[in-house]
Amino acid sequence: MRHFKLSEFNCPCCGGNRMHLEFLERLDKTRELAGFPFIINSGCRCPAHNIEIKGSPTSSHMRGWAADVQAETDHQKYKLIFAAQEAGFNRFGVYTAFIHLDCDPGKTGEVIFRGDK
């Protein structure tokens, strides 16, 4: 990876990391296309950490197919989603301070969901 260290995706609870190479390659391409640095808020999660933060029981973070990328302005969110779609991501969650990027092959694609409900 050109723009990230694998350790940026480690579970904060146990240090585990099961990120898929395909996901990481797409994220690296997204970073190139977006043209600004990314801070990874959440990468891989073990089941215990996912429960602790009240994540979805079917979270793609636990399977290594998702990450939450910091994006605080509407302009950053637009650029991030546009670049991620170009790089092959097909699931997006829009939150106040981050964008959830996901390409889990076990889930329905071409969706955008709103977080912070």
Q: Which CATH class is domain 23-114?
A: alpha beta
pLDDT at 26 (0 to 100):
98
In the three-class reduction of DSSP (H, G, I as helix; E, B as strand; rest coil), residue 63 is classed as helix
Is the model's pLDDT at 115 over the cut of 90? no
Instruction: Confirm if 77 and 24 have CB atoms less than 8 A apart.
Output: no
pLDDT at 117 (0 to 100):
59
**Going by C-beta distance under 8 Å and a sequence separation of 6 or more, which residues neighbour residue 11?**
17, 43, 44, 45, 46, 49
Joined together, the tokens standing for residue 50 give: 């996912």
Nearest Cα residue to 33 out of 87, 75, 72: 87
Report which of residues 117 and 59 the model is more confident about: 59
pTM of the predicted model as reported, rounded to 2 decimal places = 0.95
2-55 residue pLDDT tens: 999 999 999 999 999 999 999 999 999 999 999 999 999 999 999 999 999 999
pLDDT at 1 (0 to 100):
85
pLDDT at 88 (0 to 100):
98
Residue 115's CB is within 10 A of a number of other CB atoms, namely 13
Nearest Cα residue to 45 out of 69, 24, 61: 61
61-95 residue pLDDT tens: 999 999 999 998 999 999 999 999 999 999 999 99
